Structure formats: C-alpha cells, structure tokens
Amino acid sequence: MNPQGNLIAPIIVAIGVIIAAIAFAVVTTLLEQADSGADLRLTRLEATLATETAARLRLETELGTAKADLAQLRDDLSLVANRAPGPPTGQFVAPGDGQSVLQLPDEGETDDPTTEELTEQMKLAKARFNKGITQPNNKIMMALLGPPRDSYNTDCQPVSSARLKALLDTRTIGPIKVTMVRPALESLQRVLDRLNASDPDIYAKVGTAGAICARLIRGSATAVSNHSWGTAIDLTLEGQLDPFADGGTQFGLLILAEYFNDEGWFWGAAYNREDSMHFEVGAETLQAWAAAGQLATQ
C-alpha cells in the first residue's frame, strides 16, 4: 500500500476545511462591513431628517410670526383710516389733480423733542375728551348723506353723488383752504376764530393734511372713510403731522380738541391707537344738522 496515497484524502479534506473557514470569515467580514455601512447611512439620514425637521419648525414659527405681523399691519392700516392725504401748511389739493401730497410718517417717527413729556400728558388727559360725542359709523353717514360714490378704492377719488356735491364748498378759513360740507365749514370757522382769539401764535401755525377724500378705509374692502363725506379733517402744526399712535400729541392740538369737542366734533386721539391730527363731526352733531335741515339740498 502506498503511504502517500493514504495521505492525499486527509490533505484534501483539510484544505477544504481551511478554504471553507476562510470563505466563512470573508463572508462574515463583508456582511459586517455592509451592516456598518448601512448603519452609517441610516445615521446620516436620521441626522439630515432631524435637521430638516428643525428647519421646518423654524419656518413654521417664522410664518406664524409673519401672519401675526400682517394681521397687526392690517389693523394699523384700518386705524389710519381717517388720515386723508393732502398738502402741507394749509393748501388744499382736490383729489385727482396730479399734485403731490403730504406723506404720513412711520409709526414712532417724530422730530418733536417734547414728545416724551406730551405723551405723559396725553395719557392723563385723554379720558376727558369726546364726552357725549360718538364717532359716526358708515350706517349713520349713509343714512344722513347717502353714498359719496358708486365705487371706491383706497385712493382719493372725487365725489360723484349729486346730492353730496351740492352740499360741498371750498373756503379759506383762517390759515387753511379746505373743502367740506357747508355746516362743517361754518363749525370749523368758529373753532379757528376761537383759537385765534385765545392763542394767535398757534392759530398762525395751523395747516391741513386733507379733508374731502372719497375712499375706503385702508385695510378694508367695504368700510368707507368719513373723509369721503367732507365731515372730517386732519390738521397739522407748522406743517408737521402729529406722530401716529405714539400716545402723545402736539400741544396745540390739545387746545383745538377742546374747541372741536365744544362744537360736537370727535377727536381721533380717543382711538385705540391715537390719531391726534384727526377731527370729525360727531354723530349727534350730524343728526342735529339733519334735523335742522342743514344737510338738505335746495
């Protein structure tokens, strides 16, 4: 018997076992590497997802803030409702004549060094104005004077109502020229005459930022500004607009407010966001004029 022949079979078996062991080790290593790569990719995907989720949440928060800011802006625009664009220092410009108008200041903007003192004074004095005087809403205005126009937008447009046009007049009253309904002009004359008698220095500084202005309240698709009927006016002092919604007011407007209140006009300082430059004929006064026939056409 050949001893070498007897060794071949065990050697082949041993080699097979070794190859199998090597193959098993290689396959196991490859599988481990594959699992490790998959885990790494999964970890990276999870990290990316977390980052994108955080970004989405941040954007949702910013969107919510932007929506809140937009809602506040719309509210602010509505509260500016009765500011009519117009020329400085007493010159009246009819709507649509192409001339430039006085621009309203940004909220909080002021060049008045005494604003802080006046703000405190206004906080204390505000409650004593407009007693027994109601701001007229659109329902009252429509009932007493009818619609100024058939259609509106947020720009000043001319009055088209024949009835209202017949009630309007343009006059120079003291230092200003203004277009309003005649009873309002006569009442304004009394206010400025009284101011001239008590404070001629303030009287000389009075101007207007506009009166008649047929338009919608800014920020609204339906509400009409009371300027549209020529029953409201915005006043300036030395050509300067009183800063909107800062809680304070120019000193001269405080004096004017007393005189306007005595004539039955509503002062815009009583709005939720103060608008001290704005004065409009109160509902009770308009109703009294109507009852006396002063709002009737010939």
- 4 pLDDT tier (thresholds 50, 70, 90): low
DSSP for 246-289, written as a single string: SS---HHHHHHHHHHHHTTEEEGGGSSS--TTEEEE-HHHHHHH
Tell me the C-alpha to C-alpha distance, in Å, between residue 41 and each of 31, 32, 34.
15, 14, 11
Pick the residue with more confidence: 62 or 202? 202
Hey, which of 9-13, 19-23, 30-34 has the most confident mean pLDDT? 19-23
- 69 pLDDT tier (thresholds 50, 70, 90): low
Residue 99 predicted with pLDDT over 60 = no
The pTM (predicted TM-score) of the whole model is 0.61
Hey, which of 77-86, 172-181, 266-275 has the most confident mean pLDDT? 172-181
> What pLDDT is recorded for position 112?
41
Question: Could you tell me if residue 68 is inside a domain?
Answer: no
Mean pLDDT for the chain?
Answer: 78
Question: Could you tell me if residue 67 is inside a domain?
Answer: no
189 within 8 A of 169, measured Cβ to Cβ: no
Rounded average pLDDT over 185-211: 96
Question: Could you tell me if residue 53 is inside a domain?
Answer: no
Question: Could you tell me if residue 285 is inside a domain?
Answer: yes
Residue 120 predicted with pLDDT over 60 = no
- 104 pLDDT tier (thresholds 50, 70, 90): very low
Q: What is the rounded CA–CA span in Å between residue 157 and residue 57? A: 45
Q: What is the rounded CA–CA span in Å between residue 241 and residue 262? A: 23
% of the chain residues with pLDDT over 70: 72
Task: Count up the domains in the chain and report the number.
Answer: 1
Question: Could you tell me if residue 203 is inside a domain?
Answer: yes
> What pLDDT is recorded for position 58?
78
Hey, which of 43-47, 128-132, 230-234 has the most confident mean pLDDT? 230-234
Question: Could you tell me if residue 27 is inside a domain?
Answer: no
Pick the residue with more confidence: 230 or 41? 230
- 218 pLDDT tier (thresholds 50, 70, 90): confident
> What pLDDT is recorded for position 106?
29
- The DSSP 8-state label assigned to residue 208 in this structure reads E
Pick the residue with more confidence: 145 or 244? 145
277 within 8 A of 266, measured Cβ to Cβ: no
Tell me the C-alpha to C-alpha distance, in Å, between residue 152 and each of 1, 51, 128, 161, 222.
122, 49, 35, 13, 9
Q: How many residues does the chain have?
A: 298
Question: Could you tell me if residue 139 is inside a domain?
Answer: yes
Question: Could you tell me if residue 54 is inside a domain?
Answer: no
Q: Which domain holds residue 215?
A: 80-291
Domain of 266, CATH number, reads 3.30.1380.10
